[in-house]
Amino acid sequence: MPTRLVRVTEPVQLVESNSVDLSHYVALSHCWGQLADHERFCLFRNNYFRLQESIIFDRLPRTFRDAIAVTRGLGIEYIWIDSLCIIQDDARDWESEASKMEEVFSAAYCTISAASAQSSLDGFLSPRSHRPCVQLQTLESETIYVCPHIDDFHRHVELAEINRRGWVLQERALSRRSIYYTSTQLYWECGEGIQCETLSRLYNSKAAFLGDANFPRSALDYYRDGRLLLVQDLFEKYSALAFTVASDRAVAILGLQKRLARAFKTQAAYACFESYFARSILWMRDREHGAEMKSINQPPGRHIPSWSWLSKVGKIQFMDLTFEKIEWMTGDFQSPFAKQMDVQSGLSTLTSATCTTVLRGLAKDLAMTREELGSFVQFDHEQELDAELFRAVAIGRDKGDETTGSTDESKYH
């Protein structure tokens, strides 16, 4: 359960979850937007007790007012809103609450997604444009009405501004059910599919697992034995999303990482899984979106190792490999994960006693010229290369064709 919630009955007020008789609550997924400090309505240390006494409804941003109105309409007494339920100027509280996102969204009765709002000031219960309609008379003297087709979940939701926000990927995946408010209609998403306000039903097998209450169970069914393909698809998508604060990149995936680690019965840290560590680190800068990947300045007390793509800004891609045909060269490198693992908790933290930030390996010379190095090696950023000083650690190599006895010395570093 989240530490705090907002009670939506009058007077609206901030409450601590352990002090109320809680049955259901709703979670809000929304865009903060590019707002000035005075335009943001947040929980701080200096207004904590005042918001516990009461929150003046009319002073809330429109998106928050609309979310409270919907919560009341659902007959639910509490709502979780990140900016009101996490102390924004308390680093310890922020880190603690941010690590609980799996519990917050998976325990919520439903998630309200303000898909049509680009900031907390916009709201999402706005009047809609008139939908043209043609009235026709059938030969049986029945009247039918024909309207333009407006069911487009991909365009209205998946391509909406809110889904470019880094935090939203795990919010969607971890929610039991979601209600999306778009400019044209409502969409309802759960493990059974997507229901439109027009009464149509949509289904997209590859995208559906993000809306499944039992994520990642249906995703694993879709990917069959390729569970690492699921992780790679999710992480590649996540790496392209935007953050107002770049260092949030390492935090906004913790809930998703924790859920996956528990499903895989392994440890996880820094977007890597202990059971699949060698595969997890075979990532590189996305070739299509060739912007340089620059290191992110982390807040005091947090260290993200350079071998994790969470330490950098930019879209990644994983090497396109047939994993069962690769021999992992575990003798050449040492996994930073400890041998003991807590498979029940699906351990997933930024700093963990079971995972160090040090990756040790046997660095070897590469017999390449500077030109060859530039052709075969994908760097995070452009730089002057000194081929004589360049070293690499072999992670795996092709097993070769066992039927012919031929071997392929291709190695992956």
Q: How many Cβ atoms from other residues are within 10 Å of residue 344's Cβ?
A: 8
Tell me the pTM: 0.84
* pLDDT at position 406: 47
Looking up tokens 């439109």 gives 196
Query: Are the beta carbons of 258 and 102 closer than 8 angstroms?
Result: yes
202 burial type by CB count under 10 A (0-12 exposed, 13-18 middle, 19+ buried): middle
* 288, 253 contact by CB (below 8 A): no
For the chain, the first-to-last Cα distance in angstroms comes to 42
- CB atoms inside a 10 Å sphere around CB 159: 11
**CA geometry: angle 266, 272, 275, nearest 5 deg:** 35
Predicted confidence at residue 166, as pLDDT, reads: 92
Cis peptide before 61 (omega within 30 of 0): no
Q: Which helix (H) or strand (E) holds 80?
A: strand 78-80
Between β-strands 110-113 and 178-181, what pairing exists: parallel, antiparallel or unpaired? parallel
The residue written with tokens 């939203």 in the block is 168
| pLDDT tens-digit readout, 79-98 | 999 999 999 999 999 999 99
Radius of gyration of the chain (CA): 25
pLDDT tens per residue, range 175-220: 999 999 999 999 999 888 899 999 999 876 555 567 666 777 766 6
- The answer to whether residues 84 and 3 touch, using CB atoms and an 8 Å cutoff, is no
Q: Which two tokens stand for residue 249?
A: 């990149």
Report, in this order, helix, strand and coil percent for the chain, each rounded to 5: 30, 20, 50
> How far apart (Å, rounded) are the C-alpha atoms in residues 89 and 398?
50
> How crowded is the C-beta side of 16, counted as CA atoms within 13 Å?
5
Residue 42: half-sphere exposure toward Cβ, Cα within 13 Å: 18
* Distance (Å, whole) CA 216 – CA 263: 7
Q: Rounded to an integer, what distance in angstroms lies between the CA atom of residue 284 and that of residue 378?
A: 7
User: Which long-range contacts does 16-22 make (Cβ < 8 Å, 24+ apart)?
Assistant: 20/78, 22/78
CB atoms under 10 Å from CB of 112, counted, come to 26
CB atoms within 10 A of CB 129: 8
Q: What is the pLDDT of residue 118?
A: 92
Angle at 115 between CA 112 and CA 120, to 5 degrees: 85
In whole angstroms, give the CA distance from residue 138 to residue 62.
45
The one-letter amino acid code at 408 reads D
Dist CA 409 CA 128 (whole Å): 62
Residue 342 is predicted with a pLDDT of 42
* List of the chain residues with pLDDT < 50: 340-353, 403-404, 406-407
- Residues contacting 398, CB < 8 A, separation 6+: 325, 326, 327, 407, 408, 409, 410, 411
- Which among 388, 394, 330, 387 is positioned nearest to 364, based on CA atoms? 394
Q: Which pLDDT value is given to residue 128?
A: 86
